[in-house]
Amino acid sequence: MNIYRHEFKMHLRSDIIWSISQAAMIFLFTWIFSSIAVDAALLTETLSQFPKELLIAFGMENLDLATVLGFFSFAFLFSQILLALQAANYGFGILSVEERELTADFLLAKPISRRRILFSKVLSAFTGLTITNIVVWISSFVFINMFKGDRTYETSTLLKLLLGIVVFQLVFLTLGMFISLLVKRVRNVTPFSMGLAFGMYVLSAFGGMLGDVKLELITPFKHFDPGYIISNQAYPSTLWISVAYIVVSAIGTYVLYQRRDIPAPV
Amino acid sequence: MSIIEVNNLTKYYGKSRGIVDVSFNVEEGEIFGFIGPNGAGKSTTIRLLLSLIYPTSGSAKIFGKDCIEYGPMLRQDIGYLPSEVFYYEGMKVLDLLKYSASFYKKDCSERMYELAEIMELDLKRRIDDLSYGNKKKVGIVQGLLHEPRLLLLDEPTSGLDPLMQRKFFDLVREENEKGATVFFSSHILGEVQRLCSRVAIIKEGSLIETQDIKTLQKDTYKKIRIEAPGLDEKRFLIDGVMNLEKFDGAARFFFKGDINTIMKLISEQVVSDVTIEEPTLEEIFMHYYE
Residues of chain B neighbouring A104 (CB-CB closer than 8 A): 52
Distance from CA of B156 to the nearest CA of A (A): 14
We report the CATH number of the domain holding residue B196 as: 3.40.50.300
H-type alpha helices, chain A: 2-36, 40-48, 52-57, 68-100, 104-108, 114-147, 155-182, 189-210, 213-218, 220-223, 226-232, 239-259
Range of the domain at B101: 2-217
The CA distance from A115 to A128, in Å, is 20
Which of B217, B247, B266 delimits the end of a domain?
B217
Of A2, A102, A109, the CB nearest to B86: A102
**Contact (CB<8Å) A265/B72:** no
Of A6, A103, A110, the CB nearest to B86: A103
Tally of domains in chain B: 2
Same domain, B256 and B279: yes
**Contact (CB<8Å) B103/A111:** yes
Q: Is A215 within a domain?
A: yes
Same domain, B239 and B123: no
Of A106, A111, A259, the CB nearest to B75: A111
Q: Distances from the Cα of B124 to the Cαs of A25, B142, B146, B210, in angstroms?
A: 40, 15, 21, 44
Is residue B27 a contact partner of residue B2, using CB atoms and an 8 Å limit? yes
Same domain, B104 and B181: yes
Is residue B70 a contact partner of residue B78, using CB atoms and an 8 Å limit? no
Confidence class of residue B208 from pLDDT cuts 50, 70 and 90?
A: confident
Give the gyration radius of chain A's Cα atoms: 20
**Contact (CB<8Å) B13/A261:** yes
pLDDT at A153: 83
Phi, then psi, of A13 in degrees rounded to 5: -65, -45
Same domain, B171 and B229: no
Residue B142's closest chain A neighbor by CA?
A: A106
Residues of chain A neighbouring B76 (CB-CB closer than 8 A): 111
Residue-level pLDDT, tens digit, chain A, 266 residues: 889 999 999 899 999 999 999 999 999 988 887 777 777 777 777 777 777 777 776 666 666 667 788 888 888 989 999 999 999 999 999 999 888 888 888 999 999 999 999 999 999 999 999 999 999 999 999 998 888 777 788 888 899 999 999 999 999 999 999 999 999 888 899 999 999 999 998 888 777 666 666 777 889 998 998 888 888 888 988 899 999 999 999 999 999 999 999 888 76
Q: Distances from the Cα of A243 to the Cαs of A76, A124, A138, B51, in angstroms?
A: 21, 21, 25, 33
Is residue A158 a contact partner of residue A229, using CB atoms and an 8 Å limit? no
Which of B185, B217, B249 delimits the end of a domain?
B217
Same domain, B102 and B191: yes
Residue B53's closest chain A neighbor by CA?
A: A261
- CA proximity to B228, closest of B219, B239, B236: B236
Is residue B139 scored above 60 in pLDDT? Answer: yes
Helix (H, G, I), strand (E, B) or coil at B207: strand
Q: Is A126 within a domain?
A: yes
Residue A168, phi-psi category: left (phi > 0), alpha (psi -120 to 50), beta (remainder)? alpha
Residues of chain B neighbouring A10 (CB-CB closer than 8 A): 88
pLDDT at A266: 64
Tally of domains in chain A: 1
Distance from CA of B99 to the nearest CA of A (A): 7
Confidence class of residue B61 from pLDDT cuts 50, 70 and 90?
A: very high
**Contact (CB<8Å) A109/B100:** no
Give the gyration radius of chain B's Cα atoms: 22
We report the CATH number of the domain holding residue B270 as: 3.30.70
**Contact (CB<8Å) B100/A110:** yes
B228-252 pLDDT, tens digit per residue, is 887 777 777 888 887 788 887 788 8
Mutate to test the interface with B, among A10, A106, A114 (most CBs of B within 10 A): A106
Range of the domain at A221: 2-259
Same domain, B17 and B119: yes
pLDDT at B23: 92
**Contact (CB<8Å) A262/B102:** no
Of A6, A108, A111, the CB nearest to B73: A111
Tally A–B CB contacts below 8 A. 66
Is residue A253 a contact partner of residue A181, using CB atoms and an 8 Å limit? yes
**Contact (CB<8Å) B88/A10:** yes
Same domain, B25 and B108: yes
Lowest mean pLDDT among A136-140, A226-230, B98-102, B148-152: A226-230
Element of type H or E holding B105: none
The CA distance from B256 to B271, in Å, is 21
Distance from CA of A252 to the nearest CA of B (A): 18
Q: For chain B, first and last CA: distance in Å?
A: 35
How many other C-beta atoms lie within 10 A of the C-beta of residue A260? 17
Q: How many CA atoms lie within 13 A of A239 on its CB side?
A: 17
**Contact (CB<8Å) B75/A106:** no
Of A169-173, B110-114, B256-260, B261-265, the range with the highest mean pLDDT is: A169-173
Is residue B289 scored above 80 in pLDDT? Answer: no
**Contact (CB<8Å) A106/B84:** no
Of A2, A10, A261, the CB nearest to B54: A261
Q: Is A67 within a domain?
A: yes
The CA distance from A122 to A172, in Å, is 12
**Contact (CB<8Å) B52/A111:** no
Same domain, B240 and B271: yes
Which of B217, B236, B259 delimits the end of a domain?
B217
Cα-Cα-Cα-Cα dihedral of A168, A76, A202, A164, to 10°? 20
